[in-house]
Amino acid sequence: MRDHGTFYIDGAWVASAEPRSIDVIDPATEQVAGRVAEAGAADVDRAVAAARRAFATWSVTTRAERLALLTRIVEEYRRREADIAAAITLEMGAPAALAAGGQTKSGLSHFEAAITVLADYVFEEQRGTTRIRKEAIGVCGLITPWNWPMNQVACKVAPALATGCTIVLKPSEVAPFSAVVFAEILDAAGVPPGVFNLINGAADTGAALASHRDVDMVSFTGSTRGGVAVAIAAAPTVKRVAQELGGKSPIILFPGADFPKAIAAGIRHVMNNSGQSCNAPTRMLIPAGRMDEAVALAREETAKVTIGSPASDAVIGPVVSQLQWQRIQQLIEKGIAEGATLVAGGPGKPDGLETGYYVRPTVFADVTSDMTIAREEIFGPVLSIIGYDDSDDAVRIANDTDYGLAAYLWGGDGDDLPGIAARIRAGRISINGSAGDILAPFGGYKMSGNGREWGEFGFDEFVELKAVLGG
């Protein structure tokens, strides 16, 4: 049992002002794996006050001082990778290989990227007789989700530290253990007192942070519902609110695509992390005349997605919670009720996995854009296959969504994928399974958010612009 009754505030582990705590459930066993204290208004005040005091000195540190801290954090993070991975598996059920791989490494990558960006980031430039300055925005409230916990924490904390901001982090109450290890890493790396503070809690704690008068900026990653609530809470204080929200991203196979390769990549991506990725390609768009071929390939690939305990070598583990499991089941039932054809998986738990929040890798065909499973973010291992008539129809369907986080295009000669990419209303378009790019902006159009994280674009979220005329 992990028992974290303290918060990391002003460079020390301090007891919560209130006796409330939150149980953390291991999704593989459905048992309580530990608990964290729940911060109330007094704890939030204390953390924000520490960050405010530290801002006076941290915001005027040199680039070299901040590079030195980021470098020490990278060293310390590498030393603690196994602890991070174990915490992630326990709190959100990621299989051991995924936890040690993508889940843990993505956090490290954002610190390494921040070092690269900070080395050359232009904080000041002359334009005619005007000096343009980019200054640290101030005390930042960072609110993060449970699905890629270290990725989300690191892609906010690294640029915030690099630009000279101070931080109060509130990670997800569903998956808070990795963030505790993360705070230990920052402490061991010598982050000055008050520059980074960690509090735990749920929506009320997040709302107290978002509405706090002495928090200058909130960066939120999570559901669209949560992001809207945070923006409303923040509005009276006119602080900047960066929102990184949900998605319902399309993968489009154009006639020249390598179908077996594209479908294998699409299935792997949508099922990875038990379907709990904001940028998952959950709507697969196929030329109507090639539906049978695509469905057969999708069925074949889905059969390779083994499911089992996070300790096993199964491809996917459980989903994060009972609540998510029920929600996914309801949406699978809804897909059947609305007339989609079940190609693989379906409702209920996989055979032999009655304990744990396991969901069968599920594929629907004959889905239309108006069906609930084509519109709502399911956040489980569920794919909807939709037919299209021609490339205009494909673009129309791809854009027929409230979201706009990502899109995945596959094609060959004559398919003009760059031209299609320009017509898709989404923040990150990938062509023919291109490699990732940690320095490219990550963020959404429409209800997927208004922020851009990663690389220098992530730095821009944490700075104020100042014009010094005649300066």
What is the set of active-site residues? 244, 278
116: CB partners within 8 A, 6+ apart: 439
Residue 364, amino acid: F
Closer Cβ to ligand NAD, 138 or 246, answer by number: 246
Provide the minimum distance between the beta carbon of 293 and ligand NAD in the complex, in angstroms, as a whole number. 31
CA 391 to chain centre: 30
253: left (phi over 0), alpha (psi -120 to 50) or beta: beta
Q: What are phi and psi of 49, to 5 degrees?
A: -65, -40
23 touches 45 (CB < 8 A): no
Closer Cβ to ligand NAD, 271 or 295, answer by number: 271
Provide the minimum distance between the beta carbon of 379 and ligand NAD in the complex, in angstroms, as a whole number. 6
Q: What angle do CA 260, 265, 268 make, to 5 degrees?
A: 120
Q: Which long-range contacts (CB under 8 A, 24 or more apart) does 371-376 make?
A: 371/335, 371/338, 371/339, 371/340, 372/331, 372/334, 372/335, 372/338, 373/331, 373/332, 373/334, 373/335, 373/338, 373/340, 374/248, 374/283, 375/248, 375/401, 375/402, 376/248, 376/331
Provide the minimum distance between the beta carbon of 442 and ligand NAD in the complex, in angstroms, as a whole number. 6
Residue whose token pair is 């608990």: 35
Closer Cβ to ligand NAD, 67 or 202, answer by number: 202
Provide the minimum distance between the beta carbon of 144 and ligand NAD in the complex, in angstroms, as a whole number. 6
Closer Cβ to ligand NAD, 164 or 380, answer by number: 380
Sites of contact with ligand NAD (CB under 6 A): 143-148, 152, 170, 172-173, 202-203, 206-207, 210, 221-223, 226, 229-230, 244-247, 278, 377, 379, 405, 444, 448-449
Provide the minimum distance between the beta carbon of 172 and ligand NAD in the complex, in angstroms, as a whole number. 4
Residues 188 and 186: their CA atoms lie apart, in Å, by: 5
Q: Which helix (H) or strand (E) holds 33?
A: strand 31-37
Closer Cβ to ligand NAD, 205 or 309, answer by number: 205
Three-state DSSP at 280 gives coil
274 touches 148 (CB < 8 A): no
Provide the minimum distance between the beta carbon of 358 and ligand NAD in the complex, in angstroms, as a whole number. 18
Closer Cβ to ligand NAD, 143 or 253, answer by number: 143
Instruction: Say if strands 406-410 and 428-431 run parallel, antiparallel, or are unpaired.
Output: parallel
Closer Cβ to ligand NAD, 170 or 446, answer by number: 170
First CA to last CA distance, the chain: 58
132: left (phi over 0), alpha (psi -120 to 50) or beta: beta
Beta strand extents in 16-156 (DSSP E only):
21-26, 31-37, 124-127, 130-136, 139-143
Residues 414 and 79: their CA atoms lie apart, in Å, by: 49
Provide the minimum distance between the beta carbon of 36 and ligand NAD in the complex, in angstroms, as a whole number. 12
Residue nearest to ligand NAD (CB): 206
